[in-house]
Structure 1
Amino acid sequence: MKQVRSIGKNKKGFATIEVLIAFVILILCIGAVIMVVFGNQSVAIDNETNNEAIMKAQKMLEDARAEAKEDFNITEIVANPADFFPSSLDVLTISECAKKLTSEVTWGGPFRPLEIVFSTIVTNLDTVALLSYCDPISPGDWDEPEPYGDISPSVIDGQGTGVAVAYINGIRYAFLTTDASNPVQDNFYVIDTTTSPEVIDASDIYSIKVEDGLEGIATAKIDGNYYAFVVTDHDDAGQLQVVDISVPTSPTLIPTASTTIPNVTPGESAPPLSIFYYNEKIYIGTEYLAFGDPGFNHEFHVFDVSNPSSLPWPRWETSIDIDRNVNDIFVKGDTAYLATGQGSSPYTPLQVVDLPTESVVNSFSTGINKPGTAVFVLGDTLYFGTESGASGDDFYIFDINDLDPELSANSLDGSTTEVGDIFVQGQYAFIGLQGAGAQDTFQVWNIGDPEVPERVDTVCPSGFPLELNGLVFIENYIMASFRSYTPFRIIYNDATSCP
C-alpha cells in the first residue's frame, strides 16, 4: 500500500498562515492603540472646550451682576450668536427689588449640541426701603391655583375691601380691611399666615375697630416701626387713619394721626377710592369732585409720613387736579400712574402724573367710555385693567416710555366685568376680577412676551369666591381680599386634586 508523506512545502504553508495571523493581531492592536490615543485627544479637547464655555458663562454673569450693582434698571437681553460659543444673557425682572440673571453658552453644532447655563438672583435693598413690601422670590408654576379653606364669618366680619402684607419679627402677616356688616364689629384684621397657611385658626387672627367704610390699606416700615395706613369714607372722622402694627398681635389705632383731606368745598365730600405708599409718602385718590375755587376739589393727594414724631402726622403736602375718579395708584420714582374713572372729558382711563411738576404728562384712551380700575408697573412695563366694555378688552400691557400703541390688549372674561386688582411677579400677572364667575375670578397670565400674553391656569370646578378686589404675592402665595362674605383667602399652586 502506498503511503502518503508530508513534504517540506506544506510546512512552509503553515508558517505563512501563522505569520499572517500575527500580522492581523498586530494591526488590531495598533488600531486599538491609535483609537485610544485619538480618543484621549478628543476627551482632552472636550474638557478644554467645556472649561472655556464655563468661564465664558461665568464671566457674563459676573459682568451682569456688576452692572446691576451700578444700575439696577438693567433690562437688556444680550445675545452673541456669531461667536464660536453662541451666548446670551437673559434678565427677568422678578419684582422691583429683584432680578434673575441667566447666562447661556452653546457649542458643538447641530449633531452634538451642548450648553452650559448659569443663573443667579440679584436684589436691591435701596428699592426695598422705598416700597411697602417687595418679594425677591421668583414664582414657580402657577397652572393649578386653588384657595385654602374658608375662614368663618364669625371670625372675620363683613366684606373685604383691601389687603396688604408685611414681615414683622420673622412672621408673615396679612392685613385685611372690611366693610363690616355690623357697625360695632371690628373691621381691621391682622392674620398670621406663617404658622399654618392651610388652615387659619381664630387664634391666628387679631382685630380692632377703626372707622366705618374702610376702602383700602397700605403698610410701611418707618423709623423702625410698622404702620398700616387705611382710608375711610367718613369725612368727619378723617379719611386717612393710621394703625400701629409694630406689635401685630396688638394693633393700635393712633388717634392723633387721623387726617382729613383738605381743600374741599364746604358741604361736599371727598370719599377715598385708592391708597398707595412709596418712599415715605402716602398717595390717596378720591372720587371726582366738581370744580371749586383754585386749589380746591382735587382728586389726588400726597401726604408726607417720614417723621411720625412730628405733628401733624401724616402731613398733607400737595394735591393735583385730575378731574376724574382715581380708582387705583402706582408710584415709581417721580411718576404716578393713575387708573381713572368717571369725571370730566376727555375720557382718559390711564393718566401719568409727573410729581415734581404736579402735572399730567401722558395718558391713554381706549376709544370708548370705560373706566380704568387697576394699574401695576414692573420694570419698564405697565399693566392696566379696565371695565370690559363693548370691546371686550380689559387687560392692557404698555411700554411705560410709549403708551401709544399698547403692546397688547386682551379680554379676560368677555362678559361685563372689571379688573379688581393686578399684581405682577416674574413672568406672571396675577389678576382679580369683579363680576366674573367662580372659574374666572382669579386668573394667571404668562406675560414673558408682553405682546402675546397667555392665560396659563386651570381652575378646579369649585372655583374661587366672587368679587376679588385685592391681591398681593408673597413667598409663592397670593393673599386675596374679596368683596363678599368670604372676605379673605390664601391662594396657592399645585393643587393635587380638586375638592
Structure 2
Amino acid sequence: MESIGKKFQSGVVTLEIMIAFAVLILSISAVIMVVFGNQSIIIDTENNSEALRKAVFGLEEARARSGTDFYSIVTKTEKEFSGALEYTKTLLVENITRCKKQATSTVSWATNNQKTQKIELTTYLTNVAEALALGGDCASEKTNSGWNNPQIFASDNINTSKINTVDVLNGIAYFGTNDSPYIEIADTRNATLVQTGGLLVNFSNNFSASWPINDLDAIEWRNPSTGIIKNFVFVAIATSTNQLNIIDVTDIQNPSLVAERTLNNVDPDGSFPEGYKLFYYKDRLYIGTRETAGAEFHIFNVSDPTNPVEIGQGISLNITVNDIVIKEQNVNGDIKRFAYLATSQDSGELKVYDVTNFDNSGIITEISQAKQNLTGIQNGQSLYIVGNNLYFGRQSTSNGPDLYVYDISNPQLGLNLLGVGDVETAVTRIVGSGRFVFLATEKNGQEIQVWDISDSSNLSRIKNYNLSQISKLGIDYENNFLYAVGQTTPNFQMIYSPNI
C-alpha cells in the first residue's frame, strides 16, 4: 500500500529558494509554499518577493474576513499591475465542512521571456463559532482519499431488528434502534483494520430508552458556569407523548435520561404524533413530525440540556418534515437564521423559513422566493449544507434528477440551481467532506454512493458500495470514515477508502 504522504513526480525540476527565504516567518499557521515554473538560472528575486507578499496578503485578508463572515470567503481571481508587470492573484477556496475551509493564495506572472511563474500559499480557515453552534458535531478533517475504493475498515453487529439512525461525535457512534435498549453506542476511537466486534459498549447500569428512536443528534456541551464539558444525545422518540428525550452520555458506559418532554399542540391521538426528525443549533433544538393533527415543527431552548423548554406552542405546517438543517447567514449586514426543510409538500419539496426572531415573536416566516416546486410528486428527503451550497435529495423520479445543489447565499432572493445529478433512486441521507458527498439510497447494490461535487454544474458519481437494506438515516461521516448501518451482516460498518 502506498503511504498517504507519498508524492509522485514526472519530468519536473524543482528549484528551492534556499538563500533569499532561508527563514520565513508568517503570521498565519499551517502554511505551505510552493514555487512553480521553469525558472531561468537567474531568478528575478524582486518579482518573487513581491509575488510572495501578495500571496501572503491574500491569505491574511481571507483569514481576517473569515472571522466576521466565514461564508463570504469564496474563490476569486483578480489582476494587479506593478509598473509594467501584471500579476494574476487567485484565492481558491475549498469548503471542507461547515466549520473548515482550505484557502490557496496563488500569484502568477510572466517573465521577460514569457514563461509563467507562480507562487502558492495554502492554509486552513476554521469557524470555531459554527463548530460550537453545532455542538462540536462538525468534522474538521479533510478526507485524504479519492474514495474510489470503499471497503470495510472495522465492523460490529448490533442485536436489533432494525437500526433507524446513526450519529457520530468524536469517534463515538450513537445508534437509534427499534428494540430495547433502543439506543446503542460504539466506541471507535481505537478501532483497528479488519476488526470485527468489540466496538459496542456494554451499559453497566442496564440503561434503556423508553421507545424506539427515529432520530438523534449528539452534542458536546460546556456548562457556562463551571466550564465542565458533558455530552448529550437529543432523541426523537416514536411515541405519542414525551417525544423528546435527552440522554447524558458523558459516561458512555452509564448513560442516563436527564429530561423528557411532550411536544406542544400535538394531538396524541392524531395520525403521526411521534417525534420524527431533529437538528441542534446554538442552544436551540428543532424538531419535526410527520403530518399530523396539530403542530409539525417545534423549537426548544436547550441552553440547559437537562431542562429543555419549548418556545411557543409549535407551528402547524400541514406537511411531513423529512429533514431539517439550520444555518445562520450574513444577509446584507444582518445575521439571519434560516431553517431549511425537506418536506412532503408536492408544491414545496424544499422550503425555507426565517426563524431569526422566533424567541421573541413565536413566529417563523416562510421565504416564498426560496420554495422549490419541482416536477412530479416525489417528496423531499434529505439535506446537506457546506459553504453556500445546499445539497437536496428527493424520492426517486423516473424522468428527472434526484440530487440537486442550490446556491443559498441569500434565500430572500431565491435559491439558484447550480446543478443536478441523476441518482436513479431515492436519496434518503446526505453527508460529506470536501469535494465528496456520500448518499444513502434505496437502489439495490448501490445503497451507498460517492459523488464528486467539486464542480457544482457537473456532479459525478465516483463509486457505489453495497450495504443491503441500508437504513434511511444510515450514514454519517467523520474524519476519513463513513459510518453505515443497515439490516445486513455486519449491520454496523466503518468504511474507508485506501488509496490505489
1:145-200 CA-to-partner distances (Å, cap 9, x unmatched) read: 22334423xx4323221111223xxxx211111122xxxx4221111111115325
Q: Superposition pairs for residues 322-361 of structure 1, below 5 Å?
A: 322-333=317-328, 334-341=337-344, 347-355=347-355, 356=357, 357-361=363-367
Contact 1:95 1:136 in 2 (8 A): yes
CA distance in 1, matches of 2:487, 2:380: 19
SS at match of 2:202: strand
| AA aligned opposite 1:406 | L
Work out the number of aligned pairs and report it. Answer: 423
Question: Counterpart in 1 of 2:47?
Answer: 49
Q: Superposition pairs for residues 427-446 of structure 1, below 5 Å?
A: 427-433=435-441, 435-438=442-445, 440-446=446-452
CA distance in 2, matches of 1:215, 1:234: 10
Question: Counterpart in 2 of 1:139?
Answer: 143
Structure having the larger proportion of residues in helix: 1
1:3-49 CA-to-partner distances (Å, cap 9, x unmatched) read: xxxxxxxxxxxxxxxxxxxxxxxxxxxxxxxxxxxxxxx75543333
Contact 1:214 1:230 in 2 (8 A): yes
Contact 1:441 1:468 in 2 (8 A): no
Question: Counterpart in 2 of 1:23?
Answer: none
Distance 1:129 1:186, change over 3 A: same
CA distance in 2, matches of 1:373, 1:90: 32
| AA aligned opposite 1:299 | E
SS at match of 1:406: strand
Distance 1:423 1:231, change over 3 A: same
Q: CA deviation at 1:112?
A: 3.2
Q: CA deviation at 1:221?
A: 2.4
Which residue among 262, 267, 292 is the counterpart of 2:264? 262
CA distance in 2, matches of 1:217, 1:266: 21
Which residue among 291, 298, 301 is the counterpart of 2:298? 301
Q: CA deviation at 1:103?
A: 0.7
Contact 1:164 1:175 in 2 (8 A): yes
Which residue among 371, 376, 385 is the counterpart of 1:377? 385
SS at match of 1:329: strand
Matched, 1:409 2:457: no
CA distance in 2, matches of 1:275, 1:159: 20
Distance 1:485 1:337, change over 3 A: farther
Q: CA deviation at 1:203?
A: 5.8
Matched, 1:476 2:472: no
Question: Counterpart in 2 of 1:315?
Answer: 309
Q: CA deviation at 1:376?
A: 1.5
Q: CA deviation at 1:448?
A: 1.6
SS at match of 2:273: coil
Question: Counterpart in 2 of 1:275?
Answer: 278
Q: CA deviation at 1:274?
A: 0.8
| AA aligned opposite 2:55 | A
Q: Which has the larger radius of gyration?
A: 1
Question: Counterpart in 2 of 1:201?
Answer: 197
Matched, 1:420 2:428: yes
Q: CA deviation at 1:403?
A: 4.6
Question: Counterpart in 1 of 2:109?
Answer: 107
CA distance in 2, matches of 1:300, 1:327: 11
SS at match of 1:139: coil
Greater Cα offset, 43-52 or 85-94: 43-52
CA distance in 1, matches of 2:235, 2:481: 23
Contact 2:319 2:344 in 1 (8 A): yes
TM-score by length of 1: 0.79
Q: CA deviation at 1:70?
A: 3.2
Q: Superposition pairs for residues 35-74 of structure 1, below 5 Å?
A: 43-74=41-72
Question: Counterpart in 1 of 2:396?
Answer: 388
SS at match of 1:324: coil
Question: Counterpart in 1 of 2:36?
Answer: none
Q: CA deviation at 1:242?
A: 1.4
Question: Counterpart in 2 of 1:368?
Answer: 376
CA distance in 2, matches of 1:327, 1:340: 5
| AA aligned opposite 2:309 | R
Distance 1:390 1:405, change over 3 A: farther
Distance 1:495 1:189, change over 3 A: farther
SS at match of 2:184: strand
Q: Superposition pairs for residues 9-48 of structure 1, below 5 Å?
A: 43-48=41-46
Which residue among 487, 494, 497 is the counterpart of 1:490? 494
Question: Counterpart in 1 of 2:245?
Answer: 241
CA distance in 2, matches of 1:156, 1:117: 52
CA distance in 2, matches of 1:300, 1:266: 15
Q: CA deviation at 1:73?
A: 2.2
TM-score by length of 2: 0.79
Matched, 1:163 2:169: no
Contact 1:364 1:403 in 2 (8 A): no
Question: Counterpart in 2 of 1:179?
Answer: 178
Matched, 1:252 2:241: no
Distance 1:99 1:196, change over 3 A: same
Distance 1:80 1:265, change over 3 A: closer
| AA aligned opposite 1:430 | F
SS at match of 2:57: helix
CA-atom RMSD in angstroms = 2.4
| AA aligned opposite 1:445 | W
Greater Cα offset, 479-488 or 389-398: 479-488
Q: CA deviation at 1:258?
A: 1.5
CA distance in 1, matches of 2:115, 2:493: 50
Contact 1:354 1:360 in 2 (8 A): yes
1:382-410 CA-to-partner distances (Å, cap 9, x unmatched) read: 11000012324210111113555522222
Distance 1:349 1:451, change over 3 A: same
Greater Cα offset, 391-400 or 68-77: 68-77
Q: CA deviation at 1:111?
A: 6.1
Question: Counterpart in 1 of 2:226?
Answer: none
Matched, 1:124 2:120: no
